[in-house]
Amino acid sequence: AQKITQTQPGMFVQEKEAVTLDCTYDTSDPSYGLFWYKQPSSGEMIFLIYQGSYDQQNATEGRYSLNFQKARKSANLVISASQLGDSAMYFCAMREGLNSGNTPLVFGKGTRLSVIA
């Protein structure tokens, strides 16, 4: 079973508008972390934002915010005031068993965001 599901292969957004990228996850571990990464065409993975399973508030980092709905097991990324430079692939990822030191990130299939001028 897929642990991370991103249902939007591609999204378009007008410059300066906000956009929400969906992510749902599946785990039975009560301790986990959710991450979003941006991958531009050059290939590097850029960390954007983190949400822990025990965090009471939604994470925010500048123009990025995470809409964390634990009961629904969703962790959608909201990008406000989109810029042309936001065009990239966006990956949602999860790490289970946060007290364990060597658990890897598991990635969703990604969403390609295109920002239109």
Binding site for other proteins (CB under 8 A): 31, 33, 35, 37, 42-45, 47, 50, 52, 91, 95, 98-99, 101-102, 104-110
8 Å CB contact between 92 and 59: no
DSSP annotation string for 18-31: -EEE--EE----S-
Distance CA 112, CA 89 (A): 4
Minimum CB distance to other proteins, residue 96 (Å): 11
Of 17 and 62, CB closest to other proteins: 62
DSSP label at residue 7? -
Of 10 and 16, CB closest to other proteins: 10
Of 94 and 115, CB closest to other proteins: 94
